[in-house]
Amino acid sequence: MNPKATSREDILEVCRGIVREQGLSGISMRTVASACGIAPGTLYNYFPGKNALVLAVTADVWSDIFSFGPRKGTDAEKDFAAHVEKTFNSARAGMSRYPGFLPSHVLDLAADQGPRAQGREMMHSFFGRIEDDMLHALDADKRVREDAFTGGLTREGFAELVTQQLVVLLVLGQDDCQPLVALARKVLY
């Protein structure tokens, strides 16, 4: 018998394991309850239904892939281009724990309509967190040229562009982000 998962965090941890093994399609109320060693009805104490469970699991996996944490004392905090590379490498490492999750999830949400609207909103919100992280790194980089953001290029627009390209490179399974890093260096320094 599986040990009982007795908290939302325990349930999400079990769900991450299911996603690693079976993908997001392996998440169902019965499968999760069984893996957690609890009755299916118990899950409703934490999640009102399957859609809420899948959204919570998806957000949890996204957070695990793109670990946002303090980066104090690192070069990435002082060098925007190094921060982009570190974020890319960290996300690639996170993606290796969930084979196929990011590409299939992004493409699935982009193509689907209706009930997936909440998922798309969550994904856009998550991209906003990455953009905020990029803006923070940009503000921390004191080497950025004073005239880097002129002629229609704003800090926010640059952070958005870098975030979009970073995600595209990850979805396409690229091994590195050197062209993006080189572009950032060319624009900023």
What does the pLDDT look like over 124-161, one tens digit per residue?
Answer: 788 899 999 999 999 999 999 999 999 999 999 999 99
pLDDT digits (tens, 9 = 90+) for 77-124: 689 999 999 999 999 999 999 888 877 766 566 555 555 667 677 777
Angle ∠(158,105,48) on CA atoms, nearest 5: 110
Residue 2 confidence (pLDDT)? 58
Give the pLDDT score at 82. Answer: 95
pLDDT at 186 (0 to 100): 96
CB 32 within 8 A of CB 60: no
- 156 sits in which H/E element: helix 155-171
Q: Which pLDDT score, from 0 to 100, does residue 109 have?
A: 60
pLDDT for 106 equals 65
pLDDT tens readout for residues 9-59: 999 999 999 999 998 889 999 999 999 999 999 999 999 999 899 889 988
70 confidence band (pLDDT: 50, 70, 90): very low
User: Which ranges in 38-154 belong to alpha helices (H)?
Assistant: 40-43, 50-65, 75-78, 80-96, 101-111, 117-140
Tokens of 98: 């969930």
Q: Is the pTM for the entire model greater than 0.85?
A: no
Residue written as tokens 């975030």?
A: 163
- For residue 125, what pLDDT is reported? 81
Catalogue the long-range contacts made by 65-68 (C-beta closer than 8 Å, 24 or more residues apart): 65/91, 65/94, 65/95, 65/97, 65/98, 65/101, 65/102, 66/90, 66/91, 66/94, 66/126, 66/129, 66/130, 67/94, 68/129, 68/133
Instruction: Give the SS3 label for residue 68.
Output: coil
Contact yes or no for 145/188 (Cβ under 8 A): yes
